[in-house]
């Protein structure tokens, strides 16, 4: 809270430089987190009881001979000292090589490369739909008197409490089994995307709408709204042009978290709707204890999540000048 009058002129001049410096620091932090995630995963996986070479050959029941075990150890680099294995794994990661699947014997990066598209399409569609629902709901519930507020809050609370796996089964029971409008299995057609998207979007919309309603209510008392009212702008104009833009800021910065939430939800949703994607692959790999695929998906999701948080932070900075000016003060 020191008066920044003395430093304001140089700060003004170096705004572009400050932006670049902010980005570099942020990217450095992101690379650190990614490295830590990779390291943590690498060593956590070593805690799995049993011989990884046996796991490659299908578990302790496979009765593999000593030669085959040795051969597998050599192929997968399991005979090397741990430190060497770790450095090898990191080196391979830098080139995008995530190792070879135990069960399927194919490169993990090829496998995941084929799956990530479907999951990202699903997650981004769900994010947009959730945003739309949250916007409509929060504008309606803050503008329609006490009944609308109570009903709106009830809807938010209920939809935020709906677990994906239950919502999915109920939607299938209603729209596929009873009405027969939509396929219960997610096909490549747009109709097949509807139920999985709704399953992911409705609970998220509940969360986002709660956040947006609260900021919207706070914003409607802000001085700039009062002055807009004093200028004679219509209540709807104020709501849409001033307050809503302001109220979406916290929800924008939540989008990074939301995308992670959606990808995690995709594990359940893709399994129920038999939709190919990262989530279903991950669940199958967890069940089979296919370690390279599990670590591959975890790293990939962490990468997407980290990129997304940097992007949303940058977006909030661009949209809200107060964030940029806040760090100009020492």
Partner 1 sequence: MSELDLRTAAASAAPVRRARPSVSEIFAMAFVLFLAVATVVPGLLSSIDPNAIAARDAFQGPSPEHWFGTDESGRDVYSRVIAGTSTSLLIGVSATVIGVTLGLILGVIAGFGGRILDFSVNRTIEVLFAFPGLLLALLVIVIAGPGPVTATIAVGLSTAPGYARIIRGQLAGIRSSGYVESARVLGHGPRRILTRHILPNALAPLMVLATLGIGQAVVWASALSYLGLGAQPPSAEWGAMLSAGRTYIGTAWWLTVFPGLMIVLTTIATTILGRSLTRRTAGRR
Where in 33-92 is the site for partner 1 (CB under 8 A)? 33-34, 36-37, 40-41, 44-45, 47-48
What are the structure tokens assigned to 128, written together? 């947009």
Residue from 22, 42, 175, 257 binding partner 1 (CB under 8 A):
257
Draw the binding track, 182-221, toward partner 1 (x: CB under 8 A; -: no contact).
Answer: --x-------------------------------------
Where in 142-171 is the site for partner 1 (CB under 8 A)? 154, 157-158, 160-166, 169-170
Cα dihedral: 214, 164, 44, 312 (round 10): -40
CB of 7 to partner 1, least distance (A): 25
Closest to partner 1 by CB, 203 vs 242, is 203
Closest to partner 1 by CB, 201 vs 228, is 201
Contact partners, residue 43, CB within 8 Å, separation at least 6: 86
Residue from 202, 305, 312, 313 binding partner 1 (CB under 8 A):
305
Q: How far apart are CA 54 and CA 169, in angstroms?
A: 38
Give the angle subtended at the CA of 9 by the CAs of 6 and 12, to the nearest 5°: 135
The answer to whether 207 and 131 have CB atoms below 8 angstroms apart is no
Q: How far apart are CA 34 and CA 300, in angstroms?
A: 10
- Position 268 contacts partner 1 (CB under 8 A): yes
Nearest CA-CA partner of 112 in 247, 294, 320: 294
Q: Which residues pair with 107 in a beta bridge?
A: 100
Total residues in contact with partner 1, by rule CB under 8 A: 53
- Position 175 contacts partner 1 (CB under 8 A): no
Select from 77-85, 93-101, 194-202, 278-286 the region that touches partner 1 (CB under 8 A).
278-286
Contact partners, residue 126, CB within 8 Å, separation at least 6: 196, 197, 200, 201, 204, 262
Burial class (CB in 10 A: 0-12, 13-18, 19+), 10: exposed
Binding site for partner 1 (CB under 8 A): 29, 32-34, 36-37, 40-41, 44-45, 47-48, 154, 157-158, 160-166, 169-170, 172-173, 176-177, 184, 257, 259-261, 263-265, 267-268, 271-272, 282-283, 285-287, 289, 291, 294, 298, 301-302, 305-306
């Amino acid at each position: 809270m020191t008066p920044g009058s003395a430093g304001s002129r140089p700060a003004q001049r170096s705004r572009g430089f400050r932006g670049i410096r902010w980005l570099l620091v942020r990217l450095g932090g992101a690379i650190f987190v990614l490295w830590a995630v990779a390291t943590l995963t690498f060593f956590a996986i070593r805690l799995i009881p049993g011989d990884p070479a046996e796991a490659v050959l299908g578990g302790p029941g496979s009765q593999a001979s000593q030669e085959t075990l040795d051969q597998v150890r050599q192929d997968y680099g399991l005979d090397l000292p741990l430190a060497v294995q770790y450095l090898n794994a990191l080196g391979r990661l830098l080139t995008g090589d995530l190792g070879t699947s135990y069960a399927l014997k194919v490169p993990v990066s090829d496998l995941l490369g084929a799956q990530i598209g479907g999951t990202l399409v699903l997650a981004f569609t769900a994010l947009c739909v959730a945003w739309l629902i949250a916007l409509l709901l929060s504008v309606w519930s803050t503008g329609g008197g006490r009944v609308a507020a109570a009903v709106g809050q009830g809807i938010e609370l209920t939809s935020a409490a709906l677990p994906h796996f239950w919502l999915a089964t109920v939607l299938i029971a209603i729209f596929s089994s009873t009405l027969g409008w939509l396929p219960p299995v997610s096909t490549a057609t747009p109709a097949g995307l509807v139920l999985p998207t709704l399953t992911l979007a409705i609970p998220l919309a509940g969360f986002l709408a709660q956040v947006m309603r609260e900021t919207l209510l706070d914003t409607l008392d802000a001085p700039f709204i009062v002055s807009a009212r004093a200028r004679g702008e219509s209540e709807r104009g104020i709501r849409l042009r001033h307050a809503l833009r302001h109220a979406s800021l916290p929800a924008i910065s939540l989008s990074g978290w939301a995308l992670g939430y959606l990808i995690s939800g995709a594990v359940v949703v893709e399994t129920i709707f038999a939709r190919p994607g990262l989530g279903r692959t991950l669940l199958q790999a967890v069940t089979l204890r296919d370690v390279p695929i599990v670590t591959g998906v975890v790293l990939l999701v962490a990468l997407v999540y980290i990129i997304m948080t940097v992007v949303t932070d940058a977006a909030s900075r661009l949209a809200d000048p107060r964030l940029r000016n806040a760090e100009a003060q020492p």
